[in-house]
Structure 1
Amino acid sequence: MPSIVDIFNDDAFSATSLTAAINVVPNDYGRLRELNLFPEEPIPTTTVAVEYANGTLNLLPTRERGAPSSLGMPEKRQVRSFEAFHVPHDDFVRADDVQNILARVGSAGVLESVQTLVNRKQITMRRKHAITLEHMRMGALRGEILDSDGSSLLNLFTTFGVTQQSVDFVLGTATTDVKAKARSVVSYMEDNLEGEVMTGVHVLASPEWYEKFIGHAKVEEIYKYYDGQNNPLRQDVRRGFPFHGLTIEEYRGSAQYLQEDGTYATRRFVPAGEAIAFPLGTMDVFRTYFAPADFMDTVNTLGEQIYVRQAVDPEFQRWVKIHSQSNPLPLVKRPKLLVKLTSSN
């Protein structure tokens, strides 16, 4: 009968195999992943230097042929350095788990059965990393990345020295010109692209803000005689409907986190009564970087989404620890383009 050490010495449980296996597990979690808002880029270091050049496009004057050309002025450049976050998570396969498998399937099928057990644990670990990444990305989209306990990891507005634009839609007042409010959001982004481009403006709204918006008298009036698709008066359009340059979508992302007293609480990724507007189709505003793991053999290699290693209990061989880690850095390089939407009544 194979021992637990023999089983986990198989190539199926090597660091390469385990890392490849967990990265093959599809990440099915996250609206931001579905929108492909934060393209992923592996990096060989743990830090990213972002160069911010306030380049502006100006009209070029005409000249007589043979006359001196106009000269480009040197750009004012600033470099900011960001460090990838380290997110480790461990699980265990215990001797009793393997013993029960041996009793059930016998020695002939134990390798495949233990692989199934490990794969099941890896799927759970993958999902935990996925929801953590969505939480970080959503934090970046709101301008401040938070840790699981709610403490601040990175405030993009402070780091870039900008103040977030906020628009109060005053949805509790029936006469509010919501069309003008929506257009003001789009106009603000267009005026602050500073050499960037965009194809549209998307809004992820808390259920409270969303319900107030679609129930507003002016919105109902606009869609009252509209026979096309995505009519909020006749259809469930929580996945998004157009309104004067905005695509407005209800967002219910949330996750549980462990509190100091050992109980779990739920954090919503978009606070009640708020919404966040952001540009789509940009060239380089959003990015998720993945740094290499803190292993000797991954130094200066391109980072993977997730790494996995296993180690046997060195004292009594009672368990095998499955160690996973991800080293992501979701960034919004133009936080000035993130607009908070509220309603004061």
Structure 2
Amino acid sequence: MSLVNVFKSSLFKTTTLTAAINATETPPQRIAQLGLFEEQGVPTTSVVIERKNSRLDIAPVLPRGADPTPMKDPTRQGVSLVIPHVPVRDRLMADELQDVREFGSEDQLVGIEAARDEKLQTMDDTLTVTEEYHRLGAIQGLILDEDGSVLLDLYDEFEVTEPAAIEIDVTREGWTIGDAGLLRAQFSGLKTQMRQILGNKPVRGIWAPCGDALYDQVANHPEVIDTYRATMEAKDLRGDPSESFTYGGVIWEKYPGYGDVEMDADECRFIPMGVPGLFISRYAPANWFSAVNRKGLPRYAMATLDPTGEKWIDLEGQTNGLHICTRPEVLIPGRLK
């Protein structure tokens, strides 16, 4: 089969490429691993997020036959948000396929498919890191673009105020066993505070992704070490500071970022876990005729031949995902005092 015919074969059809890029085995980033965000495809390029300002109240006991307690209608707030469009492109040159053969195989198509998949994998890696970057912004209420400009300020969009930061005092000088509990006391009321903000909805746990400096200061604080003393956890804590640990009802974790995808060194963010609808991802369709008015997928890919149909083929990958916290006022920051 000639290369021109290969480029026009099913290997490079949009449906085949889209299925292939969605099937790539890019390791999920940390926030994706936790499953914080509820993912769903939508057939539109924007979504309306409806916030219900409701509380979970206790109903009174009444005599049999009495009129039931009427339910209060929650006030509703609708916020329309545009779903970001993130396309990337790579080029597969005809020269890259010169004499290509899959090792141990005479089947040229296998080798060409491998070259194609290598390009798709690179694009998916980039889109996966971008998605993590947006989600890292979402759990802090401020989603940034690659150049650091603001894509979405969730506090402004939902007209709420960012909660005051907890100034974490990690002073060690002069610390004695009699001071045990002073560190814990600084964040002991977090879960109650979060539940109140969420209208008494239960919070299953609290995750605190940390910058390097804050994590090290908390993990190596004598109060924490003393709590874990003579346990395997204490050994792990002292020997491998990259591991997470639980203390004071909070899962502390040095966020495993790199480059721009990282927490500020002296900061953390206290994130409620197990709250339905708190963190959501909504995927719009690609800006292609084949995807119009269909529910969006996490990834898309398509191929375009050069005008001569002889020299190269462009592969485009894209994601169209909106990743947000619907109640950003519950995202409590922490920083070293």
**TM-score if structure 2 supplies the norm length?**
0.90
Aligned mates of 1:330, 1:158 — CA distance in 2:
16
Aligned mates of 2:28, 2:65 — CA distance in 1:
61
Q: Structure 2 counterpart of 1:199, which letter?
A: R
**Structure 1 residue 237: deviation in Å?**
5.6
In the TM superposition, 1:220-239 aligns within 5 A as 220-223=225-228, 225-227=229-231, 229=233, 233-236=237-240, 238-239=242-243
Determine the structure 2 residue equivalent to 1:248: 252
2:107 is paired with a residue whose SS is: helix
Alignment CA distance shift 1:152-1:317 (3 Å): same
Q: Structure 1 counterpart of 2:138, which letter?
A: A
Determine the structure 1 residue equivalent to 2:329: 336
**Structure 1 residue 230: deviation in Å?**
5.7
What CA deviation, in whole Å up to 9, does each residue of 1:165-210 have, x standing for no partner?
A: 2101022465682111121323321322215332110111111101
Percent sequence identity is 29
2:207 is paired with a residue whose SS is: strand
| Aligned residues of 2:237 and 2:243 also touching (Cα < 8 A) | no
In the TM superposition, 1:5-84 aligns within 5 A as 5-84=4-83
**Structure 1 residue 163: deviation in Å?**
2.0
> Which one of 185, 188, 192 corresponds to residue 187 of structure 1?
192
| Aligned residues of 1:230 and 1:237 also touching (Cα < 8 A) | no
What CA deviation, in whole Å up to 9, does each residue of 1:6-38 have, x standing for no partner?
A: 111111221111111111112303111111111
> Which one of 297, 321, 330 corresponds to residue 314 of structure 2?
321
**Structure 1 residue 231: deviation in Å?**
5.4
**Structure 1 residue 323: deviation in Å?**
1.0
Determine the structure 2 residue equivalent to 1:200: 205
Determine the structure 2 residue equivalent to 1:178: 183
Aligned mates of 2:230, 2:44 — CA distance in 1:
53
Aligned mates of 1:234, 1:323 — CA distance in 2:
46
Aligned mates of 1:234, 1:145 — CA distance in 2:
34
2:260 is paired with a residue whose SS is: strand
Determine the structure 2 residue equivalent to 1:273: 266
Aligned mates of 1:296, 1:121 — CA distance in 2:
23
Q: Structure 2 counterpart of 1:137, which letter?
A: R
**Structure 1 residue 234: deviation in Å?**
4.2
Aligned mates of 2:68, 2:235 — CA distance in 1:
55
> Which one of 267, 279, 284 corresponds to residue 291 of structure 1?
284
**Structure 1 residue 91: deviation in Å?**
0.5
What CA deviation, in whole Å up to 9, does each residue of 1:73-110 have, x standing for no partner?
A: 222111111121100001011121123538x99x9633
Misfit runs of 4+, over 6 Å: none
**Structure 1 residue 300: deviation in Å?**
1.4
What CA deviation, in whole Å up to 9, does each residue of 1:30-74 have, x standing for no partner?
A: 111111111211111111211111111223334444333332222
| Aligned residues of 1:23 and 1:305 also touching (Cα < 8 A) | yes
| Aligned residues of 1:232 and 1:241 also touching (Cα < 8 A) | no
Alignment CA distance shift 1:173-1:141 (3 Å): same
**TM-score if structure 1 supplies the norm length?**
0.88
Aligned mates of 2:116, 2:295 — CA distance in 1:
26
Aligned mates of 2:58, 2:209 — CA distance in 1:
36
1:81 is paired with a residue whose SS is: strand
Aligned mates of 1:321, 1:246 — CA distance in 2:
47
Aligned mates of 1:243, 1:65 — CA distance in 2:
47
Structure 2 portions without partners, runs of 5+: none
| Aligned residues of 2:209 and 2:270 also touching (Cα < 8 A) | yes
RMSD over aligned CA atoms reads 2.3
Alignment CA distance shift 1:231-1:156 (3 Å): farther
In the TM superposition, 1:105-144 aligns within 5 A as 109-144=107-142
Q: Structure 2 counterpart of 1:338, which letter?
A: L
Aligned mates of 1:73, 1:238 — CA distance in 2:
48
Q: Structure 2 counterpart of 1:152, which letter?
A: V
Aligned mates of 1:234, 1:343 — CA distance in 2:
20
Q: Structure 1 counterpart of 2:311, which letter?
A: R
| Aligned residues of 1:310 and 1:323 also touching (Cα < 8 A) | yes
| Aligned residues of 2:90 and 2:119 also touching (Cα < 8 A) | yes
Corresponding residue pairs, total:
329
Aligned mates of 2:257, 2:60 — CA distance in 1:
51
Alignment CA distance shift 1:75-1:335 (3 Å): same
Aligned mates of 1:251, 1:288 — CA distance in 2:
21
Q: Structure 2 counterpart of 1:194, which letter?
A: G
Greater shift in the superposed pair: 282-291 or 187-196: 187-196
Aligned mates of 1:112, 1:232 — CA distance in 2:
46
1:311 is paired with a residue whose SS is: strand
Q: Structure 2 counterpart of 1:179, which letter?
A: R
In the TM superposition, 1:125-164 aligns within 5 A as 125-164=123-162
